[in-house]
Structure 1
């Protein structure tokens, strides 16, 4: 990597400390004092950098790496070149993620621009707002009347916090984000440009066209949630829109009014969830999938990218397609459609009849 870095190198962590931090075993204890100062990909890592290899497909690159150290599984440890420290661990990528957080701590949350350590003179904080000690409000941010913000929270430049909104401790609201009609827990990260708590899309046909249905609910976001850039979460119509603890939401996701998302869910970019849908705990939805309104997706279900969910999904299943259905059926149908497109016949079991 070139010398122009937005994330400068760390002063250094010994391999002994790094292995303890990441739950890895250092294959050669004589290298325990070696320090690493940065991270890089397997093919680009060099002196002072740590990387990872997690599968046999990485073996050719692993054998050529020039990294100072590499997280590997026990099966790959023998492929680590001489002079490179092997950090043996069951899940190399997870260990590597912990290493990044330790070596590049500024990458964990959205970056601050102004360097303020309190409330900027160039910010507007209403006199009735209540901020605990240690809150940072950067220049050109706005905090509305009656808002409450907990200690350690950062409101970035250009962000707007609406009247009466409550934000917990150690949160981060990114540049230009808006948060209104919302109750936010602790340790929540909201990335730049996210829109939280605007009114949902509600209209009813009337004699003069479409009459707007006022949206008077709230958004409730529980602890340790992360919300990506440009994502929109509408407030409820009468009830609340709820995002459960530990859920991670990618950029450019749309969550409509009254949606309830469970704990530790993962929603990938461009997912759209229509009003009053309910997601259980641990649900994973691939990119650009669409979820119909008023449906229920059970705990632990997985929805493939580009799918359209039209009805309820049982717990623990893997579904895909348009409309979404059990993955095996979807794959068989896709294989049959592909065969028809190329003029081939398929057996009833989905195999090709040549």
Structure 2
């Protein structure tokens, strides 16, 4: 079996160019030094660039064979004498900037060798697609849809009637979008479902009556939503995802949820209906958020937590139910001591 290379090896660049892209200072090394590739710090070979920002890999840093290292000033003394040193404030962010220059196709995989609109796609005559839209085989574009230039609709995706999608977006393979207005530069990964019914029933002993969900989903610019995530449309108002928010795979967002700008939501989080996340909230994986609560601006929720009450702005909470992390850590320490005492007896 052949060993395919999915991302083309970049052309060699100089250390000086890397420093410019990364916003880094060359602490040691020749700006004309040629960098031929990138790699992990523990597997680097001659000519490669690596980054370091996690002390768990400190022993790997001290023995790396990399040609150059992106590193914070506090760790520059640990870089071997054989490697050039690029000092930056946030090595991981600088690394991201460099990779985006070297591997632009990894940001949004390119569509190659297809016509603008595949002969095997189904596009309703009333749909309005600006010049430069790409629709791959098997995709379905329904009546009244509007799609901006530079947007790619990948294979077997379904865009339902009346949906609006802005410019330079990607709708991943097998994704489904309905009852939605989507801004510019939005990336929906494969299998994302947007705008389906929220989970709404008037429950009772004689059976459960379905409540029609008559809202929409509004997704603002520069949002990225991971594979197989679901975003329900609003019940009686809109579900909203704010500008710049990044959502991981397999997240469930219920009806009427409002997510602010530049939030980060990690895999397998569930957000119940009518919850509100203000700007810059971060939620760790496998956490749950109860309906109708508000998580304040900049708050952070640890993984595997349950948010059952409002969280103040800037709060750091964890546990089930979620509580301030200092309190949570104290309680866990006390439980550990009680368990150890019980074992001792």
Q: Give TM class, smaller chain.
A: over 0.9
What is the distance in 1 between the residues matched to 2:12 and 2:119?
36
Match of 2:66 in 1: 67
What is the distance in 2 between the residues matched to 1:327 and 1:46?
41
Match of 1:316 in 2: 314
Alignment of 1:246 with 2:244, yes or no, is yes
Q: 1:53-101 deviations in whole A, cap 9, x for unaligned?
A: 1254433211211122210122322332233221111111111111111
Deviation at 1:5, TM superposition (A): 2.9
Partner-residue secondary structure (3-state), 1:62:
helix
What is the distance in 2 between the residues matched to 1:238 and 1:48?
58
Q: How does 1:1-354 map to 2 (within 5 A)?
A: 4-28=4-28, 31-109=30-108, 111-112=109-110, 115-206=113-204, 208-343=206-341
What is the distance in 2 between the residues matched to 1:75 and 1:343?
41
What is the distance in 1 between the residues matched to 2:133 and 2:123?
12
Deviation at 1:311, TM superposition (A): 1.1
What is the distance in 2 between the residues matched to 1:108 and 1:218?
28
What is the distance in 2 between the residues matched to 1:334 and 1:79?
35
Classify 1:208/1:189 alpha carbon distance in 2 versus 1 (closer, same or farther; 3 Å): same
Q: 1:3-54 deviations in whole A, cap 9, x for unaligned?
A: 743223111222211111110112245x222332432110012133211112
TM-score (norm 2): 0.94
Classify 1:57/1:306 alpha carbon distance in 2 versus 1 (closer, same or farther; 3 Å): closer
Partner-residue secondary structure (3-state), 1:76:
helix
Partner-residue secondary structure (3-state), 1:220:
strand
What is the distance in 1 between the residues matched to 2:125 and 2:46?
53
Paired positions, count:
344
Structure 1: which 4+ aligned runs deviate by more than 4 Å? none
Asked if 2 retains the 8 angstrom alpha-carbon contact of 1:309 and 1:324, the reply is yes
Deviation at 1:298, TM superposition (A): 0.7
Classify 1:117/1:33 alpha carbon distance in 2 versus 1 (closer, same or farther; 3 Å): farther
More off after superposition, 335-344 vs 264-273: 335-344
Asked if 2 retains the 8 angstrom alpha-carbon contact of 1:253 and 1:271, the reply is yes
Match of 1:351 in 2: none
What is the distance in 2 between the residues matched to 1:249 and 1:273?
12
TM-score (norm 1): 0.92
Partner-residue secondary structure (3-state), 2:85:
strand
Partner-residue secondary structure (3-state), 1:70:
strand
What is the distance in 1 between the residues matched to 2:275 and 2:78?
48
More off after superposition, 4-13 vs 119-128: 4-13
What is the distance in 2 between the residues matched to 1:53 and 1:205?
54
Deviation at 1:340, TM superposition (A): 2.0
Q: Provide structure 2 residue ranges, at least 5 long, that are not aligned to the other structure.
A: none
Q: Provide structure 1 residue ranges, at least 5 long, that are not aligned to the other structure.
A: 346-354
Deviation at 1:205, TM superposition (A): 2.5
